[in-house]
Amino acid sequence: MTDLDPRLVELYDEDNPDGPDHDHYRALADRSGARSVIDLGCGTGILTVTLAVPGREVVGVDPSATMLDRARGRPGSAAVTWIHGDSRRVPGAAADLAVMTGNVAQHIGDEEWTRTLRDLRRALRVGGTLAFESRNPTAQAWRGWATPGRTVRDTRHGPLEEWNTVDVVAPGSVRLIASNRFTATDETIVVTQVLRFRSRVELERQLDAAGFTVTAVAGDWHGGPVSDASAVLVFTAVAR
């Protein structure tokens, strides 16, 4: 797998800032009294380092070495154990809480998703909590992702021209092709992602099969009910 270009990783936090989603996971960690937390798909670690409060062990796992390089350079990173890899590298240490944020669940294909849930179940103690979110397929967010033209923004590497194309490649699977052209060097970097949109029923069934009991599904970051228009499905489940 080709890793992400470091210049695009530099823009990741700008495009994905700290917000109510991170507030939700921090509050869950505090409310549950978690002493050990796994952040799977931690990316640049913007949330991960804030979970690492005194008295709590935090592990950040990500398949992107470039993302992890940025995470390791973040203030507070020394309090986190960083692991390069996927769920197979998650330590089986009877953790209290595991989280997957930034819609990480949608980046994992079906076979890998089944394995990921089982790996996380093995990593959690009985009664431990798994929390993650996934975009609600009935809201069809992908319809707004394609760009009618090209946008340009300034970066430390000069102007960056950006445009997206989107297509549905199979029921529940959407391909997003993001093109990024650094005009100063005339380099175009194309990032292709196939995102899996799973329904609430499908996710509940998969969690049950992996050994989890779903305790809550919210339609927003404040615990609101799920509707067809809800942008996200926010899951909380307990390991049996």
Assess if residue 1 is contained within a domain. no
Residue 141: name the closest of 172, 105, 109, 162 by CA: 172
Condensed to tens digits (0 to 9), the pLDDT of residues 180-195 reads 999 999 999 999 999 9
Please state the pTM of the whole predicted model: 0.96
Q: Please name the amino acid found at residue 26.
A: R
**Of the residues 177, 195, 213, the one at which a domain ends:** 195
Across the chain, what does the average pLDDT equal? 97
Residue 35 three-state SS: coil
| CB neighbour list of residue 141: distance below 8 Å, 6 or more residues apart | 135, 231
Verify that 19 and 116 share a domain, yes or no: yes
- How far apart are the C-alpha atoms of 213 and 31, rounded to whole Å? 19
Verify that 89 and 156 share a domain, yes or no: no
Assess if residue 40 is contained within a domain. yes
Verify that 203 and 187 share a domain, yes or no: no
Verify that 143 and 219 share a domain, yes or no: no
pLDDT at 2: 66
Residue 155 three-state SS: strand
Verify that 112 and 19 share a domain, yes or no: yes
Q: How many domains does the chain have?
A: 2
Domain that holds residue 159: 138-195
Do residues 163 and 150 lie in contact, with contact meaning Cβ atoms separated by under 8 Å? yes
Verify that 58 and 11 share a domain, yes or no: yes
